Amino acid sequence: MAKAKLKAKKHHARPRPKHLIGILSEKSLHSALKDWYAQTGDRLEVEMDGFHIDIKRHNLLIEIQTANFSSLKRKLRILVEKNPLRLVYPIPEEKWIVRLGADGISQLGRRKSPKRGNIFHLFHELVSIPDLIGHPNFSLEVLLIQEEEIRCNDGNGSWRRKGLSIRDRRLIGVLNQYLFTKPTEFLMLLPPELPRPFSTLELAECIGQPRWLAQKMAYCLRHMGMIKITGKKGNAWLYSSVKPGRDSKYLFAHSLS
């Protein structure tokens, strides 16, 4: 894959359509992303091999999934055998929490969440389908987005949210895109300062993420055939790249702003 494809692209947030304001729909984020991603000439809502396809661009099938890759495994494995297939996955880099009253209409407040998503959060879902990355027909595009999460004070939500239930997710804008078309491109996510060999604890420290996420990342890279176990330090497995990655340009060597 050419570096230009993996380089992040900055986008200005598109204005929200007025008809979305105040309208709660379970699938509004998915619908908005489909509208944002579609190009002139694309066919939307296509049926193929017994499956619903979000976008068909010439012979390329495009599936947008906002969560839960495991639910798509059968569909993806069947479709990718006959057609080029791209899975598009949004990660909220910036999120605003909107609180609605029990009536689901009146707005009680809006605040920015301190939590920020990043490219490494991809591996939380990718653990379900790491083997698909090596299929010649498969590609994966990650969108870092700005979104609103709509919560309703109906008493039906988690105790962690004090009874507020999540009613919707709304797209505000797309900040960056990352396109992966083959396993070797994932080596660009390994920081140049990462020791060789490395443990998942060292990986977590270098990417600034919790160890449980670094473990998922190592699992995916191993199943892609990009890293292998080469030893042990105490109780921790040590990993090394199967293909040299030190000379690769680190994906986050430069600011994305």
Dump the DSSP string for 25-71. Answer: -TTHHHHHHHHHH--TT-EEEEEETTEEEEEEETTEEEEE-SS-GGG
Task: Outline where DSSP puts E strands in the chain.
Answer: 43-48, 51-57, 60-64, 85-100, 107-112, 138-152, 165-180, 227-233, 236-241
All residues at 6 or more sequence positions from 110 whose CB lies less than 8 Å from its CB, including other chains: 96, 97, 98, 99, 148
Instruction: Give 49-73 pLDDT, tens digit per residue.
Output: 899 999 999 999 999 999 899 999 9
Indicate if the pLDDT at residue 213 is higher than 70: yes
pLDDT for 104 equals: 78
158/201 same-domain check? no
161/201 same-domain check? no
Work out the burial of residue 216: count CB atoms within 10 Å of its CB; fewer than 13 is exposed, 13-18 middle, 19 or more buried. buried
88/114 same-domain check? yes
Average pLDDT over the chain, rounded to an integer: 84
103/130 same-domain check? yes
pLDDT interval class at 165 (50, 70, 90): confident
257 assigned to some structural domain: no
113 assigned to some structural domain: yes
pLDDT interval class at 242 (50, 70, 90): confident
Other CB atoms within 10 A of residue 114 CB: 6
144/226 same-domain check? no
pLDDT interval class at 160 (50, 70, 90): low
User: Which carries the bigger pLDDT value, residue 216 or residue 168?
Assistant: 216
Quote the CA–CA distance of 160 and 116 in Å, as a whole number.
19
254 assigned to some structural domain: no
Helix (H) and strand (E) counts in the chain = 6, 9
Indicate if the pLDDT at residue 24 is higher than 50: no
171 assigned to some structural domain: yes
148 assigned to some structural domain: yes
Q: Which two tokens stand for residue 80?
A: 């990718």
The enclosing domain of 223 has a CATH number of 1.10.10
14 assigned to some structural domain: yes
Task: Work out the percent of the chain whose per-residue pLDDT is above 90.
Answer: 70
pLDDT for 144 equals: 98
Task: Work out the percent of the chain whose per-residue pLDDT is above 70.
Answer: 80
Reduced to 3 states (helix: H, G, I; strand: E, B; else coil), residue 112 is: strand
Other CB atoms within 10 A of residue 110 CB: 11
Quote the CA–CA distance of 138 and 140 in Å, as a whole number.
7
SS3 content of the chain, % helix, strand, coil (to 5): 30, 35, 40
Quote the CA–CA distance of 53 and 46 in Å, as a whole number.
5
115/222 same-domain check? no
Indicate if the pLDDT at residue 82 is higher than 90: yes
Domain total of the chain: 2
Q: Which of 149, 181, 213 is the last residue of a domain?
A: 181
147/113 same-domain check? yes
60/150 same-domain check? yes
Indicate if the pLDDT at residue 154 is higher than 60: yes
139/199 same-domain check? no
Work out the burial of residue 32: count CB atoms within 10 Å of its CB; fewer than 13 is exposed, 13-18 middle, 19 or more buried. buried
Indicate if the pLDDT at residue 45 is higher than 70: yes
105 assigned to some structural domain: yes
162/91 same-domain check? yes
Q: Which two tokens stand for residue 228?
A: 């292998």
The predicted model gives 6-10 an average pLDDT of 44
Indicate if the pLDDT at residue 257 is higher than 90: no
Q: Which of 134, 155, 181 is the last residue of a domain?
A: 181
Look up the domain containing 153 and give its range: 3-181
Q: Which two tokens stand for residue 146?
A: 């700005």
149/219 same-domain check? no
pLDDT interval class at 108 (50, 70, 90): confident
pLDDT interval class at 256 (50, 70, 90): very low
249 assigned to some structural domain: no
Q: Which two tokens stand for residue 252?
A: 């986050």
pLDDT interval class at 18 (50, 70, 90): very low
92/155 same-domain check? yes
